[in-house]
A = this chain, B = another copy of it.
Amino acid sequence: MKVPAPDLPARVRIHEVGARDGLQNEKETVPTEVKAEFIHRLAAAGLSTIEATSFVHPKWVPQLADAETLFPLLDDIAEARKVSLPVLVPNERGLERALALGARSIAVFGSATETFAARNLNRTVDESLAMFEPVVARAKAEKVHVRGYLSMCFGDPWEGAVPVAQVVKVAKALMDLGCDELSLGDTIGVATPGHVRELLKALNDSGVPTSSIGVHFHDTYGQALSNTLAALQHGVTTVDASAGGLGGCPYAKSATGNLATEDLVWMLNGLGIETNVDLTALTATSAWLAEHLGRPSPSRTVRALTPPPSSPSHKE
Q: Which A residues are closer than 8 A to B by beta carbons?
A: 1-5, 8, 154-155, 161-162, 189-195, 197-198, 219-223, 225-226, 228-230, 254, 256-257, 260, 263, 266-267, 269-272, 299-301, 303-304
Q: How far is B158's CA from A99's CA once the two chains are assembled, in angstroms?
A: 53
A299, B222: Cβ atoms closer than 8 Å? yes
7 smallest beta-carbon distances between A and B, as pairs: A192-B270, A222-B263, A1-B161, A3-B194, A222-B300, A5-B194, A3-B195
Contacts A3-B195, A222-B260, A223-B270 known; list 13 others, CB within 8 Å: A1-B161, A190-B270, A192-B267, A193-B229, A193-B267, A193-B271, A194-B271, A194-B272, A222-B300, A222-B301, A226-B267, A229-B230, A256-B304
B221, A266: Cβ atoms closer than 8 Å? yes
A1, B222: Cβ atoms closer than 8 Å? no
Q: How far is B300's CA from A238's CA once the two chains are assembled, in angstroms?
A: 25
Query: Which of chain B's residues have a CB closer than 8 A to the CB of A191?
Result: 270
Closest-CB distance, A270 to chain B (whole angstroms): 3
Query: Which of chain B's residues have a CB closer than 8 A to the CB of A197?
Result: 3, 5
Query: Which of chain B's residues have a CB closer than 8 A to the CB of A198?
Result: 3
Most buried by B among A189, A194, A197, A223: A194
Closest-CB distance, A25 to chain B (whole angstroms): 16
Query: Which of chain B's residues have a CB closer than 8 A to the CB of A256?
Result: 300, 303-304
The oligomer's copy count stands at: 2
Which residue of B is nearest A161, CB measured? Answer: B1
Q: How far is B1's CA from A162's CA once the two chains are assembled, in angstroms?
A: 8
Query: Which of chain B's residues have a CB closer than 8 A to the CB of A223?
Result: 225, 263, 266-267, 270
Which residue of B is nearest A197, CB measured? Answer: B5
Query: Which of chain B's residues have a CB closer than 8 A to the CB of A304?
Result: 189, 220-221, 254, 256
Q: How far is B4's CA from A5's CA once the two chains are assembled, in angstroms?
A: 22
Q: How far is B299's CA from A217's CA once the two chains are assembled, in angstroms?
A: 17
Given contacts A154-B1, A300-B219, A304-B254, contact A194 B225 (CB under 8 A): no
Query: Which of chain B's residues have a CB closer than 8 A to the CB of A303?
Result: 256
Query: Which of chain B's residues have a CB closer than 8 A to the CB of A219?
Result: 300
A221, B300: Cβ atoms closer than 8 Å? yes
Query: Which of chain B's residues have a CB closer than 8 A to the CB of A301?
Result: 221-222
Which residue of B is nearest A233, CB measured? Answer: B233
Which residue of B is nearest A198, CB measured? Answer: B3
Closest-CB distance, A188 to chain B (whole angstroms): 9
Can you pick out 14 interface pairs between chain A and chain B where the beta carbons lie within 8 Å of each other? A1-B154, A3-B198, A5-B194, A5-B230, A189-B304, A194-B272, A219-B300, A222-B300, A223-B266, A225-B225, A226-B229, A229-B230, A256-B300, A256-B303
Query: Which of chain B's residues have a CB closer than 8 A to the CB of A189?
Result: 300, 304
A193, B5: Cβ atoms closer than 8 Å? yes
A4, B222: Cβ atoms closer than 8 Å? no
Given contacts A3-B194, A3-B198, A229-B230, contact A222 B270 (CB under 8 A): no
